[in-house]
Amino acid sequence: MSARLGFEQMMPGMIPAGRLGEADELAQAALYLASSDSSFVNGIELHVDGGMSLV
């Protein structure tokens, strides 16, 4: 088993969302922050990590 495969099998159990994130999920967060929809958002840290920062 490669190290990468072992990592991909181990990580979902450590993340509260129960899965690895997808690139488009991060992209959607970036697009939101770059859009006028976030015009009143100011000085935040947006964790797009499936809840991993809570662990």
How high is the mean pLDDT in each 10-residue block of the chain (55 residues)? 77 88 95 96 91 86
CA angle 27, 6, 51 (to 5 degrees): 40
CB 50 within 8 A of CB 19: yes
What local confidence, expressed as pLDDT, does residue 1 receive? 58
Give the pLDDT of residue 11.
85
Residue 10 is predicted with a pLDDT of: 86
Q: Count of domains in the chain?
A: 1
* Structural domain range at position 45: 3-54
pLDDT in the model for residue 7: 80
Which CA distances in Å does 26 have to 6, 7, 19, 21?
Answer: 23, 20, 14, 8
What's the pLDDT at 12?
A: 86
